């Protein structure tokens, strides 16, 4: 089995369709129930078990769970302390964001402000210091970080398109100047829900991808993509511009729809041989022979665990809601880490 994993294998510059892969000889693919495997997918190329851990940086203001007295550092320390265990359980990548994900899981509105990007596109040092610690720890463990820049509901705090592009430039240069080689870049999360900046919406977000790809430091650049909402297929322009394809499984209750979405992406004329990663899906059923994880993995796509604390649930549930308990101590968390450990 081949996986896009260990940071020392992510070498730059890379040709447009060439990816550094590392072989995991003990890995295997389990055929999905009622989902036939195609010959081209049976090696499970580019698979990368993934978990969203967006709440690693927050300084949230204007929200009932205002983090005070060093709580952000406590959150990050707890994540770092639990990193080793997650890596041993087969987790190969995490998703973090410079503009924080909704601390409620899903939100009708976002009155809080949680952004590492200043209104004019600058970077806040306190956020970037935390991000650096996360990236370095992941690198130590051979894990990939998919780092997002903009997040729906938080992009409203960025002044204009010039500031959006400045934020992209500053972020890319920060990664490259720090010699972080285990970072993949996501321009923005679910681009089809943005309201303020046209360059972050589906019709133009490929321009932002190409802009980020054009930024180099010492001849090196980042691999770049973006994501749509649950079940949405990227536009042909997005697929052509992106180095890898990010999909969301939210709303796809039938695992067969996961397979259909992957096949739809691969059928688009502008698609070439690029990794496909579901970096967000809130469907579980890990105890069943068929679920969204199995469906995605069976057709050669990586799958990402999106778990948030539902109303009335205990503190140990979810990686999305702040304050976060990063330990693997709930049934959903255990189910996810058990299944990736089995498939490892």
The predicted pLDDT at position 246 comes to: 96
Residue 102 has pLDDT above 80, yes or no: no
**Helix ranges, 106-160 (H):** 125-140
The predicted pLDDT at position 249 comes to: 96
The answer to whether 123 touches 117, Cβ cutoff 8 Å, is yes
Q: Name the maximum alpha-carbon separation found in the chain.
A: 55
Higher pLDDT, 304 or 238: 238
Helix axis angle, 71-88 relative to 125-140, nearest 10°? 20
Residue 334 has pLDDT above 80, yes or no: yes
Our measurement of the distance from residue 82's CA atom to the centroid of its chain's CA atoms, rounded to an integer in Å, reads 19
**What are the tens digits of pLDDT across the range 68-98?**
333 344 444 556 666 555 555 678 888 889 9
The answer to whether 234 touches 191, Cβ cutoff 8 Å, is no
Give the pTM. 0.82
The predicted pLDDT at position 104 comes to: 64
Token pair, residue 259, equals: 């397979």
Average pLDDT, the chain: 78
Residue 101 has pLDDT above 50, yes or no: yes
* pLDDT interval class at 191 (50, 70, 90): very high
């Amino acid at each position: 089995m081949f996986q896009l994993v260990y940071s020392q294998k992510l070498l730059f510059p890379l040709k447009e369709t060439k990816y550094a892969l590392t072989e995991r000889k003990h890995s295997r693919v389990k055929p999905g129930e009622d989902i036939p495997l195609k010959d081209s997918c049976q090696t499970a190329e580019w698979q990368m078990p993934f978990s969203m851990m967006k709440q690693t940086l927050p300084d949230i203001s204007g929200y009932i769970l205002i983090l005070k007295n060093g709580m952000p550092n406590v959150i990050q320390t707890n994540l770092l302390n639990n990193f080793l265990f997650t890596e041993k359980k087969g987790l190969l990548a995490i998703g973090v964001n410079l503009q924080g994900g909704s601390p409620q899981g899903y939100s009708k509105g976002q009155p809080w402000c949680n952004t590492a990007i200043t209104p004019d596109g600058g970077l806040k040092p306190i956020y970037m210091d935390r991000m650096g610690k996360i990236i370095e720890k992941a690198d130590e463990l051979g894990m990939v970080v998919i780092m997002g820049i903009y997040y729906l509901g938080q992009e409203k705090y960025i002044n204009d398109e010039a500031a959006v592009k400045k934020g992209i430039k500053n972020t890319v240069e920060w990664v490259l100047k720090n010699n972080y080689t285990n970072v993949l870049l996501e321009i923005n999360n679910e681009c089809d829900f943005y309201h303020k900046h046209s360059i972050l919406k589906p019709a133009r977000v490929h321009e932002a991808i190409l802009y980020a790809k054009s930024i180099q430091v010492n001849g090196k650049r980042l691999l770049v993509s973006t994501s749509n909402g649950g079940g949405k297929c990227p536009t042909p322009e997005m697929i052509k511009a992106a180095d890898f394809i990010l999909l969301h499984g939210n709303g796809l209750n039938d695992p067969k729809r996961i397979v259909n979405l992957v096949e739809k992406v691969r059928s688009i004329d502008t698609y070439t041989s690029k990794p496909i990663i579901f970096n967000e899906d809130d469907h579980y059923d890990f105890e069943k022979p068929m679920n969204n994880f199995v469906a995605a993995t069976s057709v050669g796509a990586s799958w990402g665990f999106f778990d948030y604390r539902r109303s009335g649930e205990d503190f140990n549930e979810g990686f999305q809601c702040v304050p976060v308990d990063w330990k693997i101590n709930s049934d959903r968390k255990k189910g996810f880490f058990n299944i990736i450990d089995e498939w490892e």
